Amino acid sequence: MSKTTTRGVVMDMTMLSCLLVLLFFPTLSYSYAPRTPSRLNRFSNTANVTSNYLTKQQLWLSQTLDHFSPYDHRKFQQRYYEFLDYFQFPDGPIFLVICGEYSCNGIKNDYIVVLAKKFGAAVVSLEHRYYGKSSPFKSLATENLRYFSSKQALFDLAVFRHYYQDSLNSKLNRTKTENPWFVFGVSYPGALSAWFRLKFPHLTCGSLASSAVVLAVYNYTEFDQQVGESAGAESKAALQETTQLIEQKLATNAKALKKSFNAAELQIDGDLYFLADAAALSFQYGNPDKVCKPLVEAKKAGEDLVDAYAKFVKETFGDSVQSYDQKHLKSTAVSDDDSDRLWWFQVCTEVAYFQVAPSNDSVRSSKVDTRYHLDLCKNVFGDGVFPDVTATNIYYGGT
């Protein structure tokens, strides 16, 4: 068999492998909304443990700042990683793991690496522009965020894909050869994975878009409804009663209430949004008993539900609720490990996912409404900043 024929067989087998991966790891996109990184890390005890990474060696790409301007030729340094231990040179597939709304600190030792070993794949991962160490500017002032969007991020991935393929070809002393590429993403990166396949089908043989938030939603009432359904009747009733008691105390003695939740610094009452999120996160990440058990037990014992909930919230968030503090969100300082302002900008300009209370039978407070979110966007980023959900869905083919 000639080298050309052998290479063709390898490519065909790799394409088949891509299809098999799609079959065994289907897209999941229901009842989910991405969270800001600081909130996510509270539910992950392994966020920055070195042993959970196969590599943390940083590599850098000179990336185009504005992919949509023929006149702006500015560049910025974008961080990426590579892991080649299982790569079958020279024709093995390349798995591109998309990093999202957080600092990308390396290639994690997870199921993607298991697949890489099985299929002889290289694993590469690109940090999302503006997050982590890939910030084009030294300030996150609103005017500097004009190049910060999912659309620009997709072109970053396309540029990186060409750059890495060309670099690999150069190392192997070959030209015009394409390895099969497959992209992976979860949540917002899951949406990027699906959108990348949609917008650049010639650059990838497939994508895994897990829990992919591919449809931008203005008022995401279903999130609260799912919490209620998952809680069950007894726990849901306890959560709803707790919410009512908190609203009453907020009206009569807001200062004492906030202090009981270690949230005295929150000047805007609506920023107590985090109280609803505390319960929702427990359901979203598979730990409903953490909130349900103490509330149900307190209710049966006739104890103070607000005190029981405050204890749970403090155990969940510790002493810091700054990711909900609009004063904190106004900070324009660039930080490797604080991405709250950045994700809120994406919420306020592209995808919304305003997790508001439904009109009936809500678990979260009705004060967490559309007006609260729009006021936050204006207060934090200035006039004229609001999510154009319709434009986002038209661009990506949503309905």
CB within 8 Å of 4: residues ≥ 6 apart: none
Calculate the CA dihedral of residues 175, 179, 185, 188 and round it to 10 degrees.
Answer: 30
Query: Which pLDDT tens digit goes with each residue over 149-168?
Result: 999 999 999 999 999 999 99
Q: What's the pLDDT score for residue 338?
A: 84
CA 118 to each of CA 12, 18, 55: distance values in angstroms, whole numbers, following the listed order = 16, 12, 19
Fill in the amino acid letter for 341: R
Q: What's the pLDDT score for residue 34?
A: 52
Counting residues of the chain whose pLDDT is more than 90, the rounded percentage is 73
As given in the structure block, the two tokens for residue 396 are 């990506």
Q: What's the pLDDT score for residue 28?
A: 33
β-strand pairing of 94-98 with 53-55: unpaired
Q: What is the mean pLDDT of the chain?
A: 87
Query: Which pLDDT tens digit goes with each residue over 329-358?
Result: 999 999 988 899 999 999 999 999 999 999
Q: Domain boundaries in the chain?
A: 27-41+51-214, 218-396
DSSP secondary structure, 303-321, as one string: --HHHHHHHHHHHHHTT--
Q: What's the pLDDT score for residue 278?
A: 87
- Segment 188-196 shows an average pLDDT of 97
Of residues 361 and 43, the one with the higher pLDDT is 361
pLDDT band at 33 (very low <50, low <70, confident <90, very high): low
Q: What's the pLDDT score for residue 22?
A: 44
Architecture of domain 27-41+51-214: 3-Layer(aba) Sandwich (3.40)
For the whole model, what pTM was predicted? 0.88
